[in-house]
Amino acid sequence: GVMERFGLGPEDLLQENPRLIYARLTGFGQSGKYAKSAGHDINFLALSGVLSKLGRKNENPYAPVNLLADFAGGGVMCAMGIVIALFERARSGRGQVIDASMVKGAAYLSSFLWKSQNLGLWSQPRGENLLDSGAPFYETYRTSDGKYMAVGSIEPQFYNELIKGLGLNLDELPAQMSFSDWPEMKQKFASIFAQKTQAEWCHIFDGTDACVTPVLSFDDVASHQHNKERSSFIKNDQGEIIPRPAPVLSRTPAVPSCKRDPFIGEHTEEVLLEYGFTKQEIAKLHSDKAIELKNPKANL
């Protein structure tokens, strides 16, 4: 309701421009019991049902920083809604309002969890299933130098490569899908991974189909050979490493900007002047604390 109070709600603006696409990105959505309540990623994730599935055995559920609800269920879903509305407008000539709720977006992202419930993938309590750290072959393991390896050897042919790389004999081990043996196998794998450095394990598993990769830190990710060959990370003009825009389009790939992020208020005055505001009006907005102004350049 904030935009309506300013006279900038979708009904007002769509009267002025029926082709307008008006995106409303909120946590709980435009209606419902919590619509006007404050919240953060962890709250939206909790209400979506997804948070109940995240976490290790006998531990509290945990939120994976604020990626799932804020950025994936919120930002990406909202952007997809805008693209869909643009596509529809090309046919109808009409705009529409997008109600992008982080709760609904995160829930929709989890459709796989709902659709696969009857496949036996999530039949056990949290932390005891195939993809939630229950399986010894879908887990992270600490190496002797305090780093980690990620293991995702689900299919039998990949699991065989894992066992070979670990120096074990498949015939002497329990069946891969013997759930009762998973805790013991996790301990066995952990003790073996702890005997070598991350680089040594990379030397063993790189080039195989074991689905074993290093867990790269932000300090190491840009220098990894695969990421270097793909130019997956770039440096901005401040020397900071940032991810390159994705996905990559073949004919019109994104051209990344290497400029630093603008300061809050850095371009406010020039934008408002461009739109016809006078310096006096801008000064009044600033004194009323409606806008921020900041000039990062030294006035010498």
Query: pLDDT tens digits, residue range 23-46?
Result: 999 999 999 999 999 999 999 999
Look at the pTM and tell me if it is higher than 0.85: yes
C-alpha–C-alpha distance, residues 171 and 154, integer Å: 18
Residue 74 has pLDDT above 90, yes or no: yes
Examine the domain organization and report whether 18 and 103 are in the same domain.
yes
Residue 132 maps to a domain: no
DSSP assignment string, 52-107: GG-S-TTS-----TTIIIIIIIIIIHHHHHHHHHHHHHHHH----EEEEEHHHHHH
Examine the domain organization and report whether 24 and 104 are in the same domain.
yes
Examine the domain organization and report whether 16 and 89 are in the same domain.
yes
| CB-facing half-sphere around the CA of 180: CA atoms within 13 A | 0
C-alpha–C-alpha distance, residues 23 and 82, integer Å: 7
219 is catalytic: no
- Catalytic member of 12, 41, 70, 145: 70
- Catalytic member of 12, 40, 145, 220: 40
**Encoded amino acid at 274, one letter:** E
Residue 298 has pLDDT above 60, yes or no: no
Examine the domain organization and report whether 13 and 84 are in the same domain.
yes
Q: Name the domain count of the chain.
A: 3
40 is catalytic: yes
Residue of 126, 72, 64, 125 lying closest to 101 (CA atoms)? 72
Domain residues for 43? Answer: 2-119
Look up the CATH number of the domain holding residue 175: 3.30.1540.10
Query: DSSP state, 28?
Result: S
Sign of the Cα torsion 191, 196, 198, 202 reads: negative
Task: Identify the band that residue 297 occupies on the pLDDT scale cut at 50, 70 and 90.
Answer: low
